[in-house]
Amino acid sequence: RNFKSLKPQKSAGRNNYSGVTEPSWRQGNPPRVPNLIGGRFVASLSFASVDVLNPATQEVVSQVPLTTIEEFKAAVFSAKCAFPPWRNTPIITRQRIMFKFQELIRRDIDKLALCITAEHGKALKDAYDDVLRGIEVVEHACGLENLQVGEFVSNISNGIDTYSIREPLGVCAGICHFEFPAMIPIWMLSIAVICGNTFVLKPSEKVPGVSVMLAELAIEAGLPNGVLNTVHGANDIVNAICEEENIKAISFVGPSTAGAYIYAKASTKGKRIQSNVGAKNHAVVMPDASMEATLNALVAAGFGAAGQKCMTLSAITLGLGSESVMGLTNANTGEDKLAEHAKAVKVNAGMEADVDLGPVISKQSKEQICRLIQIGVDSGAKLVLDGRNIVVPGYEYGNFIGPTILSNVTVNMECYKEEFLGPVLLCLQAASIDEAIDIVNRNKFCNGASIFTTSGVAARKFQAEVEVGQVGINIPVSVSLPFSSFASSRPSFAGDLSFDGKAGIQFYTQVKTVTQQWKDSLDSDRASLALPTSYT
């Protein structure tokens, strides 16, 4: 493989984007998504590929090539060659490119959202939110130059100054999951690139189209050739990313088993790694909670995007030793009211009007969700609402699961211990707020937890004692905006530094300390072997 032919060339204007607005790969039926290497969209030479299926119809949307290792190495080589000129590009120039990038994403938001719904299956309004969340990350990246400043201390010793600066790492990589086809790639590449790194992106093989579209927009925005590269594939490419010595840092979002594997493999190679995994978030409903507001929040958080997101609400703790829940007679009545609200959720293909809940990503995912539901029933859980047998007219082959609620769930049941990634709510009982907090703290996959109450005392106790990275008070999905770092804890996050905010800057940069001394002449002809201190 002649890697020199893929060495990035100096961009002119906006890299002459007109030459790639209608790439030939779109003309296939079905189209075969290309890799982006050295600023060019190139078809993989691999004969092996994976079909991308529309979850609502099972129609083939596109094909993803299982990229060869040689092609992956070409992408890394391209990123490595692009790094020196990109790190020396003034940060204001990088900032202008990011401003243009977010402008182009807004321009093409309709196309991006339609692509997400076609590949992922989520409702179109959820797809728009996915893109908008990504835009927020780009907007945040546009202002990160203020967070990359160093520190200066004058005259720390006689005639000696010291200062620290933040420098980019080099080639970084991102491994994406299907949950948020737009937000997750943007989440990774925007922060890495604005810090002066170059990037190799591996999109999810289930939802590759949006990543290709985003790469096209990045080129149109003026990102120089080789700064961003995309390679498609499966496990072989993941292993190659973990083992490639030229890749200095890896970002990953996805399931726990994959995250643990990537963290272990990459960390042994000395790479920085941030791995956000797990999806078993909890809500504690106090007896004094506002009924309608709480029920609406629980339904939205539990069934939105078909439960396929890392901050999906999976478990609800009721009871808490009171004879009433949300002003109702008992916990069972609360569960019945929850079921009534869940039945109002409209299940249909994501492209249809007024749909609330679309299909899950694949037949394998549906089978896994149904298996865990049945295991819960067999273990003694009560099926308050069963969405397994739902049929959507016109989409009989879709991977649909309606809202499902299981009650009488205990912490020892497999359905509670395992990740669902589906529209399923588990209802547990607790005798007190202390027991409810203990349930949350013992679950290793809990990214976040919320409490619904009108008591400030209960809210403060919950906030102080719950051991999770994201806490919500009368709000179900406690995800902060990009300028406030996404925090996770325990096994649901592996790594030292998280994603957004200051932590994101720290992850994608390294500190260099410079100590300097300038003298017109030496005080002595003799060399001093003493360590300089403030006393000398």
Amino acid at 59: E
Tokens of 474: 């009368």
Residues whose CB is less than 8 angstroms from the CB of residue 421 and which lie 6 or more positions away in sequence, other chains included = 255, 279, 307, 308, 312, 360, 365, 369
Report strand pairing: 281-285 vs 448-452.
parallel
d(CA 294, CA 113): 29
Q: Are strands 40-42 and 35-37 parallel, antiparallel or unpaired?
A: antiparallel
- What SS3 state is found at 160? strand
- Name which of 39, 48, 113 is nearest 82 in CA terms: 39
By the 8 A CB rule, do 497 and 509 touch?
no
Q: Which residue has the tokens 């292993």?
A: 239
The DSSP call for residue 328 is B
Residue with tokens 């243009």: 100
Q: H helices of 268-413, where?
A: 291-303, 331-343, 363-378
Which residues are known to be catalytic? 310
The token pair at 333 is 């009545």
Distances (CA, A) of 441 to 64, 162, 448, 489: 40, 44, 10, 11
